[in-house]
Each structure stands twice: as C-alpha cells, then as structure tokens.
C-alpha cells in the first residue's frame, strides 16, 4: 500500500459500509483504512446476532477498524475486547453520530458535552485492549468548541488517531463543513488528525489536506457516490494517473459481492442505499432506483444493472 493510500480512510456509515462495500473499495484500490458500520456496545455485550454480523469482515478488507458507540464505560470496554477477539486491527469510538435515538442515549455526538464521560470511556477502552483505539467526532453537539476539549482528553487517554467532521450535530449534514476547525485541532494536538466532510472528488480531498495540514482524510458519502475516489486521490497525491473500472463494472462487482452475503435482506438493503447515491445523475438512474426500491431480491435486479449501463455513460438530472 502506498504512503498516499495510508492517508485515506473509508468512513463508517450505517447501512452503507458493510463488508461487501468495503471489499469493493479494496478491489478498486487506493484506500488505507476501512471502518465497519457502527455497533451498539450495549447490544454487543448482550450477544446480539445482528451486532456480531455488522462486525463480520474478510481478511482482504484489512486494515480494518470496528466502530462502537455507547455511553457506559464498562460496556464500551467489553465491546472493545470483543472487537479485538474478532481479529480487528483497531477499534473506533463514535462521538459524532447526530441521530436523535443515539443522542438520547447520551452516546454519539452527545458524548461531546460530557468531558468526564469521555475521559472515562476513552481511558477504559484504551486500557482494555492491545490494538489501537481511534476516535471519530463532530465539532460539538450544538456549539463548535467541544472538539478541542475532547480532542485533548482523547490524546491524554491514549487514543491513537482522531477524525473530525467539522459540523455540529445540530447541523446534521447541512451547510458547509468548517475545515478551519480541522486545521486548529491539528495545530493543538500531536496525535494524527484526519479531516472529514464535504469531500466528493479527489481534488477536494487534496485541497482538505493542503488547507488544514491534516494527516489524512476520511471520506464517507463521497465514496458511495464515487467509489473510485480513493484510487483517484492516491494517484493525485503520488503524481500519477489512476486506472479505475467504469461505473457499470463497479455496480456489477458490488452486486456479486452482495450476493455472497449470508443475509439476503441486509444485502438488498445495502444495495438500495448504495444505488441512491451511485446512480444519481446517470441516464435512466431515476427509473432504475424506482425498480430497485420495489424489488424483493437481488436476482431480479441483475438484468436491470446490465440495462442501465448499456451504451455511453451519459449524465442527466435523473
């Protein structure tokens, strides 16, 4: 793996970055670390089958970090031990999810308003495992200063890497991500800092790195819309030209990977969410998405995939 790829990471995204998608990204190339979808620590220590399924990965996905969330230090530490027992390369703590049902549990981005809780969780998780522990966080819950206080606590606790999405939880995904917050966090800490937010092209990824001085960039929704973004960014950083598959080949490959999944229901849902991003702007994309969303299994979608990418890859307002 190139030094450029080491600076790139696939963000954890619920319903999107399952094993098949992570393997798709590995197949295309250019990405350093991938992250699982986030898993509830409370559910994981209750031996939830679904939670264990979310943490399933193949060796060809490495290096891989498993992301956990929760507001109880004991449950988070026990979950980290489970992650380590599964053979993951690292564990990531979620302090950024803005979804109300997570925030109401005092977890996700809600952790940022409680430095004492953060210190307790970070310290206990780090001490519970021998693998690296990283942190992904928002700028704050409602105000954008919390990330600096929590960033210092994370560094003192032994967290190995921080990723900042510079929006508050109350912003959701609206407005612009304030990259200046990434630059400030990087200047205040000695541990590696990755930036995340509003990166949809390789040029924007390089721009974030240049503008903020960040050690790396984590890409989420931009990678779902364009899975070749890591290969393109790596090539741009290395001064070369990427060799990437066309969109039709990518969609076919992803479908084949999903068909190998153990749970057909989850596989279908992952495909539906993926195509909402991936086929936007593609001629016939709107009709394709409608057909996908009313389908009951991947087999009946397969002929539609072939039809979608026949001929030139034109773009419209689909």
* Residues 280 and 230 occupy one common structural domain: no
* Residues 202 and 282 occupy one common structural domain: no
Burial of 5 (C-beta count, 10 Å sphere; 0-12/13-18/19+): buried
Residue 71 domain-assigned (yes or no):
yes
* 42-97 per-position pLDDT tens digit: 999 999 999 999 999 999 999 999 999 999 999 999 999 999 999 999 999 999 99
Average pLDDT over residues 122-130: 98
Give me the pLDDT at residue 310, please: 61
Residue 313 domain-assigned (yes or no):
no
What CATH number is attached to the domain comprising 258? 1.20.225
Residue 317 domain-assigned (yes or no):
no
Question: Among the three residues 215, 238, 261, which one is the final residue of a domain in this structure?
Answer: 238
pTM above 0.85, yes or no: yes
3-state secondary structure the chain: CCHHHHCEEECCCCCCCCHHHHHHHHHHCCCCEEECCCEEHHHHHCCCHHHHHHCCCCHHHCCEEEEEECCCHHHHHHHHHHHHHCCCCEEEEEECCCCHHHHCCCCHHHHHHCHHHHHHHHHHHHHHCCCCEEEEEEEECCCCCHHHHHHHHHHHHCCCEEEEEEEEHHHCCCCCCCHHHHHHHHHHCCCCEEEECCCCCHHHHHHHHHHHCCCEEEECHHHHHCCCHHHHHHHHHHCCCCCCCCHHHHHHHHHHHHHCCCCHHHHHHHHHHHHHHHCCCECCHHHHHHHHHCCCCCCCCHHHHHHHCCCCCCECCC
Which residue numbers are catalytic? 97
* 181-194 per-position pLDDT tens digit: 999 999 999 999 99
Query: Regarding predicted confidence, which is higher, 297 or 36?
Result: 36
Give me the pLDDT at residue 203, please: 97
* 270-284 per-position pLDDT tens digit: 999 999 999 998 889
Question: Among the three residues 196, 211, 238, which one is the final residue of a domain in this structure?
Answer: 238
Residue 60 domain-assigned (yes or no):
yes
What CATH number is attached to the domain comprising 151? 3.20.20.70
Give me the pLDDT at residue 262, please: 72
Q: Is the pLDDT reported for residue 130 higher than 70?
A: yes
* Residues 93 and 223 occupy one common structural domain: yes
Give me the pLDDT at residue 261, please: 84
Average pLDDT over residues 214-238: 97
Kindly indicate the confidence band of residue 309, based on its pLDDT and cuts at 50, 70 and 90.
confident
The span from the CA of 90 to the CA of 41, in Å, is: 15
If you average pLDDT over every residue of the chain, what do you get? 93
* Residues 67 and 189 occupy one common structural domain: yes
* Residues 234 and 253 occupy one common structural domain: no
* Residues 302 and 207 occupy one common structural domain: no
* Residues 173 and 203 occupy one common structural domain: yes
**Strand bridging mode 161-168 / 90-95:** unpaired
* Residues 254 and 164 occupy one common structural domain: no
Residue 224 domain-assigned (yes or no):
yes
Q: By percentage, how much of the chain surpasses pLDDT 90? A: 83
* Residues 211 and 265 occupy one common structural domain: no
Burial of 257 (C-beta count, 10 Å sphere; 0-12/13-18/19+): buried
Residue 227 domain-assigned (yes or no):
yes
* Residues 229 and 253 occupy one common structural domain: no
Q: Is the pLDDT reported for residue 311 higher than 70?
A: no
Residue 315 domain-assigned (yes or no):
no
Give me the pLDDT at residue 307, please: 83
Report residue 199 as tokens: 């990166």
The span from the CA of 247 to the CA of 250, in Å, is: 5
Question: Among the three residues 205, 238, 271, which one is the final residue of a domain in this structure?
Answer: 238
| Number of neighbouring beta carbons within 10 Å of residue 236 | 18
Q: Is the pLDDT reported for residue 315 higher than 60?
A: no
* Displacement of CA 21 from its chain's centroid (Å): 11
The span from the CA of 247 to the CA of 116, in Å, is: 47
Which range of residues forms the domain containing residue 287?
A: 247-308
* Residues 85 and 21 occupy one common structural domain: yes
Query: Regarding predicted confidence, which is higher, 171 or 199?
Result: 199
* Residues 157 and 261 occupy one common structural domain: no
Average pLDDT over residues 169-187: 93
Task: Report the domain count for the chain.
Answer: 2
């Amino acid at each position: 793996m190139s030094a450029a790829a080491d600076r790139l990471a696939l963000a954890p995204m619920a319903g999107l970055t399952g094993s098949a998608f992570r393997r798709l990204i590995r197949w295309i190339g250019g990405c350093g670390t991938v992250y699982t979808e986030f898993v509830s620590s409370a559910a994981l220590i209750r031996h939830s089958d679904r939670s264990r399924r979310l943490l399933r990965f193949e060796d060809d996905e490495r290096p891989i970090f498993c992301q956990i969330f929760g507001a109880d230090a004991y449950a988070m530490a026990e979950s980290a031990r489970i992650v380590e027992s599964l053979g993951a390369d690292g564990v990531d703590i979620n302090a950024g999810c803005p979804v109300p049902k997570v925030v109401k549990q005092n977890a996700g981005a809600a952790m940022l308003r409680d430095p004492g809780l953060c210190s307790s969780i970070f310290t206990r998780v780090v001490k519970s495992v021998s693998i690296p522990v990283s942190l992904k966080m928002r700028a704050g819950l409602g105000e954008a200063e919390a990330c600096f206080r929590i960033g210092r606590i994370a560094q003192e606790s032994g967290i190995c890497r921080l990723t900042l999405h510079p929006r508050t939880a109350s912003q959701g995904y609206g407005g612009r991500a304030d990259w200046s917050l990434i630059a400030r966090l990087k200047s205040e800490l000695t541990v590696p800092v990755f930036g995340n937010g509003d990166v949809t092209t390789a040029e924007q990824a390089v721009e974030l790195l240049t503008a903020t001085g960040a050690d790396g960039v984590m890409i989420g929704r931009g990678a779902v819309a364009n899975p070749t973004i890591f290969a393109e960014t790596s090539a741009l950083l290395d001064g070369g030209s990427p060799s990437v598959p066309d969109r039709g080949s990518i969609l076919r490959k992803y479908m084949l990977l999903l068909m190998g999944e153990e749970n057909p229901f989850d596989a279908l849902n992952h495909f539906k969410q993926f195509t909402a991003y991936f086929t936007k702007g593609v001629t016939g994309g709107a009709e394709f998405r409608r057909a996908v969303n009313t389908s009951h299994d991947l087999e009946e979608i397969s002929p539609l995939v072939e039809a979608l990418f026949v001929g030139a890859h034109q773009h419209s307002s689909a």
